[in-house]
Amino acid sequence: MENYQVNQDGFYGDFGGAYIPEILYGCVENLKNNYLKIIQSNNFKKEFEQLLHDYVGRPSPLYYAHRLSEKYGCRIYLKREDLNHTGAHKINNTIGQILLAKRLGKKRIIAETGAGQHGVATATVCALMNMECIVYMGKTDVERQHINVQKMQMLGATVYPVTSGNMTLKDATNEAIRDWCCHPSDTHYIIGSTVGPHPYPDLVARLQSVISEEIKKQLLEKEGRDYPDYLIACVGGGSNAAGTIYHYLDNENVKIVLAEAGGKGVDSGLSAATIQLGKIGIIHGARTLVMQNEDGQIEEPYSISAGLDYPGIGPIHANLSAVGRAQVLAINDNEALDSAFELTRTEGIIPALESAHALGALRKIKFNPDDIVVLTISGRGDKDMDTYINYYHQK
Ligand SMILES: Cc1ncc(COP(=O)(O)O)c(C=O)c1O
């Protein structure tokens, strides 16, 4: 059987590893040597589980979407990460990483953010734990997700708008890594997705795996079996998807569908469909698929969704696609927007634009009536209201 998990050297097949500057070697080694010991300790697990329950509001519901199911001719369940405190799955990871940072003796927290959900989730746990918080965010994203910027500031974080490149997630991550290089000993970098050097992809996947742990229990209660026929999630860097599929990777009865951002079309030159367009390269410390030109220069990605607007992809997903374990679909901006309105009007749930890409996958799959589908709604749409309202008025 294929092994879909990270190996001893930090690789998923051909993807992963830790390609880092010398200055970060010590802190990445320290993290690598301690993360499993800490997150598997009883003391960590107790505090993590309690906060997920009492503070985040977990378990998040697994909701049977009647009208959506009728429409697509199958049985669709929505995993409601949108109902978490701070409005997305990102908080699962930031709670875990702040507890880890405390145990590593770190005093200062930095983070990158695209849609602002990870930034808000990081600022939230820093307020909770009384830690200094600095968030790097591309200037384009600061403008299109301004409510989240205001929330981070209210929570006490310093938000630095980044003006390099096309001023989105890649550029924010570059800047966060630069900061980390200047403060390697006292700073913990809370990476927001299954990206970055080993052990981050594995660490983030493990912290998010509470999603599939819950799905197993909830499906067993509702359907009398603990696995679905399909799991569907959107992929930016890949953390909500990694959490959704974690406990199902070895169950070949479960088809995995990953929805990436097609932008204005995969062949339009304005896309963030990294798995389809990318070639092997190194980005932000990992060997993975990267959108790049013939000279290896990173291509600027484009997506209407700030959280999916990234030219790399978590190594776990690059591998799942390469070995054929996951099917990857590119969902264009207009398909995601239509799907967001469809969910709103059929189920009364306004999803985040990122999650709307996962919903867009429904129209590209031929289901059987008894297929059980679990689709993760990674976040709520409050931050995207300007985009939705503009689209609505244009139609
Ligand atoms: C609501 C939501 N979903 C999905 C994503 C994409 O990230 P990931 O692929 O790590 O889940 C983001 C990123 O900001 C987000 O805010």
Q: Three-state secondary structure along 190-238?
A: CCCCCCCCCCHHHHHHHHHCHHHHHHHHHHHHHHCCCCCCEEEEECCCC
Contacts of 258 (CB under 8 A, 6+ apart): 233, 234, 235, 238, 241, 275, 317, 320, 321, 326, 327, 328, 329
Could you give the CA distance from residue 150 to residue 158 in angstroms, rounded to a whole number? 10
With b meaning 16 or more CB within 10 Å and e meaning fewer, what string describes 72-87? bebbbbbbbbbbbbbb
Residue 5 has pLDDT above 70, yes or no: yes
Q: Is residue 49 flagged as an active site residue?
A: no
CATH architecture of the domain 19-51+90-204 equals 3-Layer(aba) Sandwich (3.40)
List the one residue out of 24, 32, 30, 21 whose CA is nearest residue 184. 24
- Measured by CA distance, the residue closest to atom 5 of ligand 1 is 307
Name the amino acid, one letter, at 29: E
How many A from CA of 374 to the centre of ligand 1?
17
With b meaning 16 or more CB within 10 Å and e meaning fewer, what string describes 280-300? ebebbbbbbbbbbeeeeebbb
State if residue 354 touches ligand 1 by the CB under 6 angstroms criterion.
Answer: yes
Give mean pLDDT, residues 351-366.
98
Task: Look at the domain 57-88+209-394 and name its fold.
Answer: Rossmann fold (3.40.50)
State phi, psi for 161 to the nearest 5 degrees.
Answer: -70, 130
Under a CB-based contact definition with an 8 Å cutoff, are residues 100 and 190 in contact?
no
Could you give the CA distance from residue 289 to residue 269 in angstroms, rounded to a whole number? 17
Of the residues 60, 69, 79, 90, only one is catalytic, namely 90
Q: In whole angstroms, what separates CA 114 from the centre of its chain?
A: 10
- Measured by CA distance, the residue closest to atom 13 of ligand 1 is 307
State if residue 351 touches ligand 1 by the CB under 6 angstroms criterion.
Answer: no
Could you give the CA distance from residue 278 to residue 330 in angstroms, rounded to a whole number? 13
pLDDT at 144: 86
Pocket test for ligand 1, best of 240, 258, 313 (most atoms within 8 A of CB): 240
Q: Is residue 170 flagged as an active site residue?
A: no
**If you search the block for the tokens 């776990």, which residue do you land on?**
316
Could you give the CA distance from residue 232 to residue 241 in angstroms, rounded to a whole number? 8
- Measured by CA distance, the residue closest to atom 16 of ligand 1 is 117
State if residue 173 touches ligand 1 by the CB under 6 angstroms criterion.
Answer: no
How many A from CA of 369 to the centre of ligand 1?
30
pLDDT at 395: 76
Residue 1 has pLDDT above 70, yes or no: no
pLDDT, one tens digit per residue, over 79-134 is 999 999 999 999 999 999 999 999 999 999 999 999 999 999 999 999 999 999 99
Number of residues assigned to the chain: 395
Give mean pLDDT, residues 175-189.
96
Give mean pLDDT, residues 35-51.
98
Supply 309's token pair. Answer: 């607007």
Task: Please list the residues that pair with 318 across neighbouring strands.
Answer: none
Could you give the CA distance from residue 259 to residue 139 in angstroms, rounded to a whole number? 26
pLDDT, one tens digit per residue, over 231-255 is 999 999 999 999 999 999 999 999 9
Under a CB-based contact definition with an 8 Å cutoff, are residues 269 and 315 in contact?
no
State if residue 275 touches ligand 1 by the CB under 6 angstroms criterion.
Answer: no
Atom number, ligand 1, closest to the C-alpha of residue 82 = 1
pLDDT category of residue 73 using cuts at 50, 70 and 90: very high
State if residue 234 touches ligand 1 by the CB under 6 angstroms criterion.
Answer: yes
State if residue 235 touches ligand 1 by the CB under 6 angstroms criterion.
Answer: yes
Task: Please list the residues that pair with 329 across neighbouring strands.
Answer: 259
Domains of the chain by residue range: 19-51+90-204, 57-88+209-394
pLDDT, one tens digit per residue, over 294-331 is 999 999 999 999 999 999 999 999 999 999 999 999 99
Atom number, ligand 1, closest to the C-alpha of residue 380 = 1
Could you give the CA distance from residue 114 to residue 167 in angstroms, rounded to a whole number? 10
With b meaning 16 or more CB within 10 Å and e meaning fewer, what string describes 99-125? bbbbbeebebbbbbbbbbbbbbbbbbb
- Measured by CA distance, the residue closest to atom 15 of ligand 1 is 307
Q: Is residue 175 flagged as an active site residue?
A: no
H or E, element range at 174: helix 169-182
State if residue 204 touches ligand 1 by the CB under 6 angstroms criterion.
Answer: no
Under a CB-based contact definition with an 8 Å cutoff, are residues 68 and 98 in contact?
no
